């Protein structure tokens, strides 16, 4: 997740309407191609429905999505929720608990977005 390219994300469906209204994300129409979908970040949980979206990787967007995920997680009914992210620096999984701070989510997203030494 580097530069200002668009990122692909699977976010909780309950959040997508709020994020769309704020023009932070754009919902993708679901077109079944039979091929795998490999998003830059996805929220995974037994009782979590996700919607595929894209977003520009600018600092304000990362902060907005992190805050929205933090608010959502405090009220989500799912027992275990994991945020899986990938970027030039690798992959990471972050367990989201009701106590996970949006600042911690944003910090991990920013670290993964940073260009690797080979790209700098």
- Residue ranges per domain, the chain? 6-29+37-113
Tell me how far apart the alpha carbons of residues 16 and 29 are, in angstroms, rounded to a whole number: 13
User: 43 near 10, Cβ under 8 Å?
Assistant: yes
Q: How is residue 95 annotated by DSSP?
A: E
CA-nearest of 79, 1, 92, 84 to 46 is 79
Q: Which two tokens stand for residue 20?
A: 């769309």
pLDDT tens-place string over residues 57-108 = 777 888 999 999 999 999 888 788 999 998 877 888 999 999 999 999 999 8
Residue 119 has pLDDT above 90, yes or no: no
Residue 117 has pLDDT above 60, yes or no: no
């Amino acid at each position: 997740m580097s530069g200002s390219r668009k990122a692909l994300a699977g976010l909780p469906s309950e959040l997508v309407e709020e994020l769309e209204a704020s023009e932070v994300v754009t919902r993708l129409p679901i077109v079944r191609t039979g091929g795998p979908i490999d998003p830059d970040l996805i929220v995974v949980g037994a009782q979590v429905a996700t919607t595929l979206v894209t977003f520009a990787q600018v600092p304000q967007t990362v902060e907005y999505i992190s805050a929205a995920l933090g608010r959502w997680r405090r009220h989500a009914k799912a027992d275990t929720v994991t945020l899986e992210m990938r970027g030039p620096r690798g992959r990471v999984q972050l367990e989201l608990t009701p106590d996970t701070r949006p600042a911690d989510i944003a910090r991990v997203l920013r670290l993964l977005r940073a260009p690797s030494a080979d790209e700098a």
